[in-house]
Amino acid sequence: MKARVFVTLKKSVLDPQGKAIHSALDSMGFHTVGDVRCGKMIEVSFKPGMKPDAAADHLKNMCEKLLANTVIEDYRWEIDPSS
């Protein structure tokens, strides 16, 4: 079973990378873009036998302790039970 964890800067935190990407897109002619936020995606593959409920508990713990810095970042995840 696989999970995808998405870590992004909180809305209240200025995102210099997102700003740079936005201005690059703008200069390329993509004037429809209002804002860009840049984050990271972490794919976690569990060992066989993991149940989705237990995986969610583990993911929350992982995010709080290591994967995200909750001072500046938000996190969410998607579990794909079929993977």
Partner 1 sequence: MKKKKFGVVVFPGSNCDADCLYVLKDVMGQPAEFIWHKSASLGDVEAVVLPGGFSYGDYLRTGAIARFSPVMNAVVEFAKTGRPVIGICNGFQILLEAGLLEGAMLRNRSLAFVCKTVELRVENAGGTFANRLRKGEVLRIPIAHGEGNYYADPATIDRLKQENRIVLRYIDNPNGSMEDIAGIVNRKGNVFGLMPHPERSSESALGSEDGRKIFESILQS
For residue 23, state whether it binds partner 1 (rule: CB under 8 A). Answer: no
CA distances from 59 to 25, 33, 70 (A): 33, 32, 14
Encoded amino acid at 13, one letter: V
Binding status of residue 20 toward partner 1 by CB under 8 A: yes
Q: Whole-number minimum distance, CB 66 to partner 1, in Å?
A: 7
CB of 36 to partner 1, least distance (A): 13
Binding positions for partner 1, 32-51, rule CB under 8 A:
none
Say whether residue 67 binds partner 1 (CB under 8 A).
yes
For 5, half-sphere exposure in the C-beta direction (CA atoms, 13 angstrom radius) is: 21
d(CA 11, CA 39): 12
Q: Which residues would be at the binding site for partner 1 (CB under 8 A)?
A: 9, 12-14, 16-17, 20, 66-67, 69, 71-72
